């Protein structure tokens, strides 16, 4: 019977073939199987990670640790006493210093250039821009490992985390200038409607990095109440948030539910702890871009800059390279204590000291959900009071912060109540009320780990 039909319908293979091509086009944007899923939450709530073993195998090969060099002996003269122009690695002895030079050559310099990539005939000279950049990168790496443990934990990073043997890390970003000459009805399309790999080939904005990983625009867009009120965001703002979220998911090779519970994307209590780590990651990327990379703009040659003349910057993919923890959470930093922090105390004369009349900053720390009285920081407040008494034209600005967990509206109240308590203390210490102003910061969620985040800052305005 079927043989009879096939003879009667000579067009059938053509139809089948067209259907296959059509299906192929439709599925063109999808990943080729096999797919696998791992349940990460209670049954029935859709918390599952979708994994593609084929793509995972490729990621696995780029996320392997290189072999660490043998540890250096702890004794011997400091490199800064032997060499002429050591400005950062002053705390290392000669053996440790040499070990760092060998390691960074292996991790960053093109193999055919070796030490010459950063040095000319005179090793002490700063003629090559790569050496100047590398010096700042060493400071940045130490800063990440010692001040951003809220994100990188004890795993830490080395130059290899970003560079992986390349002079320019594989994943960097520049501000996207967009299409030029758009006029009329489509002018000002907010970076939309041109499919972008940044946001998973969607038509969402193609540059979510400039507002969020360079600027500190608000990422949270979901309103706290159903009625029209002051806390509503536009569709445009929401588009930017989604573009960032897609790019973060791609950078880590995970789904949205790795960090969120799909029943509510906003609520922290229902989110996984990874969301908090990611929250710190966003602040860390901002810090690295603004305080390390942007100030190096003039140091880089023109051909390393973007079309708008901006420096190459860091995003989640710079370190993560497709996996949930860079290098699957293996630590190379533990084998390079030289890049984690100071190894030896450096003689006081060479360490910079605070000027005698330094302007103090008050930092008062509070317990979880408390605002009646701080638990730490009294001394810093006392130095502000002393300063104000000695400088009678100086004024202070007080800003309150909270940690990232809990309800947003409640946290705003908490941050304000904390600021008010500190203001009262200053006034009762004899500072005139008109010299003390309360200022709500742009971003009330404090930086640093949650203990540091729950604070009030008192800054002197000259």
Among 86, 198, 323, 381, binds ligand HEC (CB under 6 A): 86
Based on DSSP, count helices (H) and strands (E) in the chain, helices before strands: 15, 6
If the CB atoms of residues 248 and 340 are measured against ligand HEC, the closer one turns out to be 248
**Quick one: angle between helices 378-390 and 408-428, nearest 10?**
50
- Provide the β-strand partners of residue 78: 93
Angle (nearest 5°) at CA 54 between 48 and 60: 90
At a CB cut-off of 8 Å and minimum separation 6, what does 217 contact?
211, 240
Choose, by CB under 6 A, the member of 152, 243, 396, 425 that binds ligand HEC: 152
Q: Is 48 in the site for ligand HEC (CB under 6 A)?
A: no
Does residue number 456 form part of the binding site for ligand HEC (CB under 6 A)?
A: no
Options 282, 381, 384, 415; binder of ligand HEC; rule CB under 6 A: 282
Nearer to ligand HEC, 292 or 366 (CB): 292
- The correct pick among 275, 370, 395, 435 for binding ligand HEC (CB under 6 A) is 275
Q: Any contact of residue 78 with ligand HEC (CB under 6 A)? A: no
Question: Containing H/E element for 361?
Answer: strand 361-365
Considering only residues 91 through 130, tell me which ones interact with ligand HEC, judged by CB under 6 A: 101-102, 104-105, 108-109, 114-115, 117-119, 123-124, 130
Could you give the 3-state DSSP secondary structure of residue 146? helix
Q: Which residue carries 């053996």 as its tokens?
A: 95
Q: Does residue 268 touch ligand HEC according to CB under 6 A?
A: no
Decide: is 324 part of the binding site for ligand HEC (CB under 6 A): yes
Cα distances (Å, whole numbers) of residue 154 to 149, 257, 416: 7, 25, 34
| Of 64-72, 314-322, 373-381, 419-427: span binding ligand HEC (CB under 6 A) | 314-322
Of the listed pieces 50-58, 133-141, 185-193, 370-378, which binds ligand HEC according to CB under 6 A? Answer: 133-141
Nearer residue to ligand HEC within complex by CB, 185 or 227: 227
Considering the complex, what minimum distance in angstroms separates the CB of residue 166 from ligand HEC?
9
Nearer CB in complex with ligand HEC: 327/431 = 327
Least distance (Å) between residue 210 CB and ligand HEC:
14
Q: How many CA atoms lie within 13 A of 373 on its CB side?
A: 2
Binder among 47, 63, 99, 169 for ligand HEC (CB under 6 A):
169
Among 125, 147, 121, smallest CA distance to 135 is for 125
Sole window of 158-166, 374-382, 417-425, 452-460 interacting with ligand HEC (rule: CB under 6 A): 158-166
User: Does the footprint of ligand HEC cover residue 410 (CB under 6 A)?
Assistant: no
User: Minimal CA–CA distance to 214: which of 169, 250, 172?
Assistant: 172
Q: Is 314 in the site for ligand HEC (CB under 6 A)?
A: yes
Angle at 206 between CA 251 and CA 250, to 5 degrees: 15
256 vs 460, which CB is nearer to ligand HEC? 256
Q: Phi first, then psi: what are they for 440, rounded to 5°?
A: -75, 120
| 401: contact with ligand HEC by CB under 6 A | no
Q: Distance between CA atoms of 143 and 137, rounded to whole angstroms?
A: 10
First to last CA, the chain: 95
Cα 137 to Cα 112, 162, 163, 297, distances in angstroms: 22, 11, 11, 13
Mask for 239-258, x = binds ligand HEC (CB under 6 A): --xx--xx-xx--x-x-x-x
User: How is residue 209 written in tokens?
Assistant: 């990095």
Contact 191, 205 (CB under 8 A): yes
State yes or no: residue 157 binds ligand HEC (CB under 6 A): yes
Q: Of 181-220, which residues contact ligand HEC (CB under 6 A)?
A: 219-220
* Cβ proximity to ligand HEC, 304 vs 370, nearer residue: 304
């Amino acid at each position: 019977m079927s043989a009879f039909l096939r003879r009667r319908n000579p067009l059938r293979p053509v139809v089948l073939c067209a259907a296959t091509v059509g299906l192929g086009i439709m599925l063109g944007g999808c990943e080729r199987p096999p797919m696998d899923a791992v349940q990460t939450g209670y049954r029935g709530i859709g918390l599952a990670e979708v994994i593609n073993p084929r793509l995972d195998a490729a990621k696995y090969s780029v996320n392997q640790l290189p072999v660490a060099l043998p540890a250096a002996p702890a004794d011997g003269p400091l490199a800064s006493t032997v060499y002429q122009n050591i400005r950062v690695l002053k705390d290392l002895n000669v053996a440790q210093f040499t070990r760092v030079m060998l390691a960074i050559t292996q991790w960053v310099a093109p193999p055919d250039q070796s030490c010459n990539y950063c040095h000319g005939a005179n090793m002490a000279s700063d003629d090559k821009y790569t050496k100047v950049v590398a010096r700042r990168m060493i400071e940045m790496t130490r800063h990440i490992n010692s001040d951003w443990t809220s994100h990188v934990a004890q795993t830490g990073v080395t130059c290899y985390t970003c560079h992986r043997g390349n002079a320019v890390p594989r994943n960097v970003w520049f501000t996207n200038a967009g299409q030029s000459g758009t006029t009329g009805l489509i002018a000002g399309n907010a970076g939309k409607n041109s499919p972008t790999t940044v946001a998973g080939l969607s038509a969402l904005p193609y540059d979510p990095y400039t507002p969020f990983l360079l600027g500190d625009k608000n990422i949270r867009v979901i309103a706290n109440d159903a009625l029209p009120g002051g806390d509503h965001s536009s569709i445009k703002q929401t588009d930017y948030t989604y573009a960032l979220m897609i790019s973060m998911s791609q950078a880590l090779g995970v789904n949205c539910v790795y960090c969120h519970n799909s029943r509510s994307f906003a609520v922290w209590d229902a989110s996984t702890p990874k969301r908090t780590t990611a929250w710190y990651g966003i602040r860390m990327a901002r810090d690295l871009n603004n305080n390390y990379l942007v100030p190096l703009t003039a140091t880089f040659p023109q051909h390393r800059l973007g079309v708008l003349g901006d420096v190459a910057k860091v995003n989640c993919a710079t370190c993560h390279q497709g996996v949930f923890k860079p290098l699957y959470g293996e630590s190379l930093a533990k084998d390079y204590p030289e890049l984690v922090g100071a190894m030896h105390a450096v003689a006081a004369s060479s360490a910079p000291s605070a000027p005698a009349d330094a302007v103090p900053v008050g930092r008062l720390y509070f317990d979880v959900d408390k605002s009646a009285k701080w638990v730490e920081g009294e001394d810093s407040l006392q130095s502000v009071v002393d300063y104000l008494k000695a400088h009678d034209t100086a004024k202070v600005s007080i800003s309150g912060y909270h940690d990232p967990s809990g309800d947003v509206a409640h946290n705003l109240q908490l941050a304000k109540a904390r600021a008010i308590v500190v203001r009262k203390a200053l006034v009762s210490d004899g500072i005139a009320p008109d010299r003390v102003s309360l200022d709500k910061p742009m971003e009330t969620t404090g930086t640093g780990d949650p203990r540091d985040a729950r604070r009030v800052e008192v800054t002197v305005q000259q």
